Homo-oligomer: A and B are copies of this chain.
């Protein structure tokens, strides 16, 4: 219950501090006989890794994944898959100036109070570096979902107040290509350019900025999600809110749905080509907590990164006033790198619910 595991049947446990020897993850419950494509795992990690473009932190980590167990002759065996990602560019000295200071809007103060001890180098366990382990695990989940024909697509839909227009989502592969063609990871090229300029100017200001990520999950079979507490969107919401810097989650109509009337919001069932659909999708593909076969859609809001390149007042561990100056290598805006984390967590939730639903297939 110390909270480093996620999922019930497709379950991951992550470990590692940003400036320790390594971070990593154990995936317990991956079904056997899934093809484990190591290049794919690495390509996913590369999308998250620092130093990949001018709008991300310049910290350099190759983030090379090593599979230690659970894979035999290229296939999962049903036993735990352990993945190790050694830390390389640790530079602990960068952090000596904050060893006894509480950085504003970071986890320094709360960790120190909770545990009475903390690895102050780079935030220790609270560092976003932990999310590399999630991405590696998410890649395994995606390989399982791919086998089931399920697609996941996320992109940066907003940076600050700059919002991408609604996209034609008919072809997710095409959107993915557009997204990967720009360093902002926005699937609308024009907005992407504006985002890059905005982030760059924020960076030059020594400041940071928040943003939003929109996600679509397609071809999810009807019936995933448990009806009361483990509603599919509740588990997706928890997954998203567990990502560093996320302050909000909405699915389907979301917050704006709360401003609508039932007569506009209700999704009318229709049958097309022998398939039950809804004419609209304010439900975001989930009704009563259970997938209805339509696209699952949700949005995630990220606060601006707390580390800024400016002087800030704060307290030290003794409770005295002090100030802190922005040093080190940090992201002016996390959403471009976080897209792949959002996809990873979404994949883990869907994989888990596929197994949970399958467990009860006896009765059908």
How many copies the complex holds: the figure is 4
Say yes or no for A149: interface residue by CB 8 A criterion: no
**Chain A interface bracket (under 10, 10 to 19, 20 to 34, 35 or more):** 35 or more
- Whether the Cβ atoms of A308 and B262 lie closer than 8 Å is yes
CA distance A284 to B235 in the complex (A): 21
Say yes or no for A31: interface residue by CB 8 A criterion: yes
With a CB–CB cut-off of 8 A, which chain B residues contact A21? 66-69
- Whether the Cβ atoms of A302 and B6 lie closer than 8 Å is no
Q: Known contacts being A107-B289, A303-B253, is A115 close to B3, with CB within 8 Å?
A: no
- Whether the Cβ atoms of B362 and A144 lie closer than 8 Å is yes
* Selected A-B contacts with CB under 8 Å, 6 pairs: A1-B11, A3-B226, A31-B363, A32-B360, A205-B261, A260-B304
- Whether the Cβ atoms of A80 and B4 lie closer than 8 Å is yes
With a CB–CB cut-off of 8 A, which chain B residues contact A107? 227, 287-290
Q: Which of A40-48, A172-180, A269-277 lies at the binding interface?
A: A269-277
Binary contact track A84-126/B, C-beta < 8 Å → 1, others 0? 1000000000000000001011110111011111110001111
A:342-362 near B, CB below 8 Å: 354-362
Say yes or no for A197: interface residue by CB 8 A criterion: no
With a CB–CB cut-off of 8 A, which chain B residues contact A265? 105, 210, 303-304, 306
With a CB–CB cut-off of 8 A, which chain B residues contact A360? 2, 9, 29, 31-32, 78, 355, 358
Q: Kindly identify which residue among B1, B102, B235, B269 contacts A8, using a CB–CB cutoff of 8 Å.
A: B1
Say yes or no for A70: interface residue by CB 8 A criterion: yes
CA distance A66 to B20 in the complex (A): 12
Q: Nearest-CB distance from A36 to chain B (Å)?
A: 12
CA distance A105 to B100 in the complex (A): 53
A:226-261 near B, CB below 8 Å: 226-231, 233-235, 237-238, 241-242, 247-255, 257-261
- Whether the Cβ atoms of B361 and A125 lie closer than 8 Å is no
- Whether the Cβ atoms of A28 and B2 lie closer than 8 Å is yes
- Whether the Cβ atoms of B29 and A1 lie closer than 8 Å is yes
- Whether the Cβ atoms of A78 and B362 lie closer than 8 Å is no
- Whether the Cβ atoms of A105 and B290 lie closer than 8 Å is no
CA distance A114 to B259 in the complex (A): 30
CA distance A84 to B336 in the complex (A): 33
A:132-182 near B, CB below 8 Å: 144, 147-148, 158, 160-161
Q: Which 5 A-B pairs have the closest CB atoms?
A: A107-B288, A3-B226, A31-B363, A3-B230, A248-B250
- Whether the Cβ atoms of B258 and A212 lie closer than 8 Å is yes
- Whether the Cβ atoms of B66 and A262 lie closer than 8 Å is no
CA distance A84 to B33 in the complex (A): 26
Q: Known contacts being A68-B22, A79-B17, A235-B238, is A110 close to B258, with CB within 8 Å?
A: no
Q: Kindly identify which residue among B14, B67, B80, B260 contacts A303, using a CB–CB cutoff of 8 Å.
A: B260
CA distance A202 to B264 in the complex (A): 13
- Whether the Cβ atoms of B242 and A312 lie closer than 8 Å is no
